[in-house]
Amino acid sequence: MKARVLVTLKSAVLDPQGKAIEGALRSLGVPSIASVRQGKVFDIEIDGTDQAKAEATLKEACEKLLANTVIETYRIEFVG
Amino acid sequence: MKAAVILFPGSNREGDVARALKHVAGATPTVVWHADTELPAGTDLVVLPGGFSYGDYLRCGAIAARAAIMDSVRAHAERGGLVLGICNGFQILCESGLLPGVLVRNARLRFICREALLKVERTDTPFTSRYAKGAIVRYPVAHGEGNYTADAETLKRLEGEGRVVFRYVMPNGRRDDTQVLNGAANSIAGIVSSKLNVLGLMPHPENHVDPLLGSTDGCGLFESMVDALERV
């Protein structure tokens, strides 16, 4: 089973890298960029076919390591 | 003093800390590999040195915080043993939950490598007893992610309990949260645990212990730990 975990900074946390990218896009003249936030993507393959079980595993992975829940939130998606 | 310096892959200040411990405290520390599971018997002080543990992959200190040796470090801290985390070591302490909050990218994005002025906010800790209260000290900083942040409730608790030990200040000795070099909340440079035995700080006291390097302001921190351990 393939899953994608997206980890992003909480909206209240300043994202200086996102801001820098936002500024760069503006200076390149890319139109209509309102704001940019940067995050991380983890593509994870899991053994087994039980989606509920896989979701529990991924939650554990996020809470234990992938996200620092002081500043980040995570989202789990199953892909293909 | 029996000191252990934990070596993670990517640590690079372990030699500086070992030198400072020997030079100031007369203690030759044992270097402990991150994959070990036990600290040397009778360890008084554990130092998590600066550097880029695990290449700063994922988040600074995140992988090191889950290394095998950290269970022993946690147990040592729970017993009241001294733990000092400098720079990447501070990041590891936050990631491991031994200290609250987190260090994020410097507000102005740049890696900062220069001297910082710090105010010693309290002197009744095992790390600062040799300083005068309110003393301004000069420690070098070298970090890209030293911007301390925590939720409002945690910050309020830290301030209420007087757990901010070092704060960045301006040349006039005053704190200016709008000008803090890395953007840290409340100009925080270093905090202690509630039992005062775990200190995390971004600046490097171990690099200012010899007049050859322009300052001996860091000596007080190492001398304070020797005093604290002699009192036990």
- Convert the pLDDT of each residue in B51-82 to its tens digit: 999 999 999 999 999 999 999 999 999 999 99
The H or E element containing residue A39 is strand A39-45
| Cα dihedral B98→B100→B103→B108 (10° resolution) | -160
Chain A residues whose CB is inside 8 A of the B104 CB are 13-14, 71
Q: For residue B63, what is the nearest residue in chain A, using CA coordinates?
A: A65
- Predicted confidence band of residue B142 (pLDDT cuts 50, 70, 90): very high
Q: Which residue bears the tokens 């300083």?
A: B131
Q: Cβ of B10: how many Cβ atoms within 10 Å?
A: 16
pLDDT above 70 coverage of chain B, percent: 100
Q: Which residue bears the tokens 């410097």?
A: B106
Out of B66, B100, B104, closest to residue A71 by CB: B104
- Over residues A24-42, the mean pLDDT reads 95
Cα–Cα distance between A19 and B183 in angstroms, integer?
Answer: 15
Residue A76 predicted with pLDDT over 80: yes
* Interchain CB distance below 8 Å, A71 and B102: yes
| A79–B contact, CB cutoff 8 A | no
Out of B58, B101, B106, closest to residue A70 by CB: B101
Cα–Cα distance between A76 and B13 in angstroms, integer?
Answer: 37
B204 catalytically annotated: yes
- Predicted confidence band of residue B128 (pLDDT cuts 50, 70, 90): very high
| Residue A9 CB contacts under 8 Å (≥ 6 apart), including other chains | A15, A18, A37, A38, A39, A71, A72, A73
pLDDT at A17 (0 to 100): 86
Pairing, β B3-7 against β B45-48: parallel
* Interchain CB distance below 8 Å, A65 and B66: yes
Q: Residue ranges per domain, chain A?
A: 2-79
In angstroms and rounded to an integer, the radius of gyration of the C-alpha atoms of chain A is 16
Residue B12 predicted with pLDDT over 90: yes
Residue B93 predicted with pLDDT over 90: yes
* Interchain CB distance below 8 Å, B62 and A16: no
Task: Tell me what the pLDDT averaged over chain B comes to.
Answer: 96
Domain that holds residue B96: 2-231
Cα–Cα distance between B99 and B81 in angstroms, integer?
Answer: 14
Beta strands, E only, chain B: 3-7, 30-33, 45-48, 82-86, 102-104, 112-120, 136-143, 147-149, 164-168, 188-192, 198-201
**ipTM given for this complex:** 0.85
The CATH number of residue B184's host domain is 3.40.50.880
Q: Decide yes or no: CATH 2.60.40.1080 for domain A2-79.
A: no
Q: How many domains does chain B have?
A: 1
| B64–A contact, CB cutoff 8 A | no
- Over residues B129-147, the mean pLDDT reads 97
Q: Which residue bears the tokens 């007080």?
A: B220
pLDDT for B158-199, tens place per residue? 999 999 999 999 999 999 999 999 999 999 999 999 999 999
